[in-house]
Amino acid sequence: MLERLAMAAGLTLVITLLLGPFFIPILRILKFGQQIRLEGPRGHQKKAGTPTMGGIIFLVSIVVGALALAEKPTSLEMMTVVGSMLGFGVLGFMDDFIKVVMRRSLGLRAYQKLAGQIVLALLLSVVSVKVLGRGTDVIIPFTSIHWQLGRFYYPLAVFIIVWIVNAVNLTDGLDGLAAGTTLLAALAYVVIALLAAIQGIGVAVLAHDSDLAVFAAAVVGGTLGFLRFNAYPARVFMGDTGSLALGGALAALAVLTKSELVLIIVGGIFVLEALSVILQVISFQTTGKRIFRMSPLHHHFELGGWSEWKVDTVFWTVALFCAVLGIIAYFPGFGS
């Protein structure tokens, strides 16, 4: 089992490292360069023109690596997690395409992007419950309690899925930040998926099946390889193509292991990034004052004098803590 996980991560890592030098020049030739918004940090203006939509690189490698090493590559479970990742990736690609090719800096309208995310989140939830037999209960972190929600499961699941997908997208604001934090969250899900398989938690037919852990390991390898090109100073950005896809991958893993609430802990950095934006907007609209120098949260520290590399390393350290805490939060749910 552990050998397959290592092979999945390794194969995905190698494919990503091989695809990068081939694909990045193509993005440059096609002039798929990032447009930098004027209201962002001034230091980011020098990044204008850096190729974006690089998420395609690790999406290809994750799909190949996960399916190649899965015990049952065509199972409904694997198709669900892969399909969720690609579904959100396609939505992100549409957003990037409008920004880069059609030269509309904001991409899809906010309501269009949100509507697409809700539809994909609802589809993931319904398929997991109605087709895969996931049930409508969720594990309460740090307890052995399974909270039975019935029909109320769907709005909770959709809310968490959409929150995490957008939060990963917001985190993708500095070189290497989203890739590194997602890598650590996916590493936590390698462990969580293995524990779920051993205990038969989640989708009933997943008992003693480690394919979800293989998929999570592939995400680890893909994001690790992408850091070779995306760490500061970035040679390519993942774009919404990559960030929405990674959020979809984590969300699918959470849904199928009944760890939606645990995902909030595992993805603590993502949650903080999203909360900083919400709090900033509420504060400014109600009092006219800003809580942070700029949101999302990483920009607050950047404008406070931190280098991009310092922000990355501090946030990665917090993400590692959240990943370990998330595993601990999931563990007491066993045996129920």
Please say if the pLDDT value at position 220 is more than 80. yes
| pLDDT tens per residue across span 141-180 | 999 889 999 999 999 999 999 999 999 999 998 999 999 9
Burial class from Cβ neighbours inside 10 Å (0-12, 13-18, 19+) for residue 84 reads buried
Which amino acid would we find at residue 113? K
Q: Which of 264, 241, 253 is nearest to 87 (CA)?
A: 241
Contacts of 285 (CB under 8 A, 6+ apart): none
In this predicted structure, what is the pLDDT of residue 224?
98
d(Cα 161, Cα 213) in Å, to the nearest integer? 19
Q: Which of 278, 226, 219, 279 is nearest to 254 (CA)?
A: 219
d(Cα 251, Cα 248) in Å, to the nearest integer? 5
Q: Which residues are annotated as a binding site for Mg(2+)?
A: 169, 240
Please say if the pLDDT value at position 1 is more than 80. no
CB-side neighbour CA atoms (13 Å) of 164: 32
Q: Which of 256, 297, 255 is nearest to 280 (CA)?
A: 297
109 — phi, psi (to 5°)?
-60, 150
Q: Which of 311, 29, 57 is nearest to 172 (CA)?
A: 311
| pLDDT tens per residue across span 22-54 | 999 998 888 776 665 655 566 555 666 788 899
Please say if the pLDDT value at position 66 is more than 90. yes
Q: Which residues are annotated as a binding site?
A: 169, 240
| pLDDT tens per residue across span 311-320 | 999 999 999 9
Contacts of 25 (CB under 8 A, 6+ apart): none
User: What's the pLDDT band for 330 if we cut at 50, 70, 90?
Assistant: very high
d(Cα 253, Cα 196) in Å, to the nearest integer? 11
Model pTM above 0.95: no
d(Cα 115, Cα 122) in Å, to the nearest integer? 11
Q: What percent of the chain has pLDDT over 90?
A: 76
Question: Could you write out the DSSP letters of every residue in 276-304?
Answer: HHHHHHHHHHHHS--SSSSSSHHHHHHHT
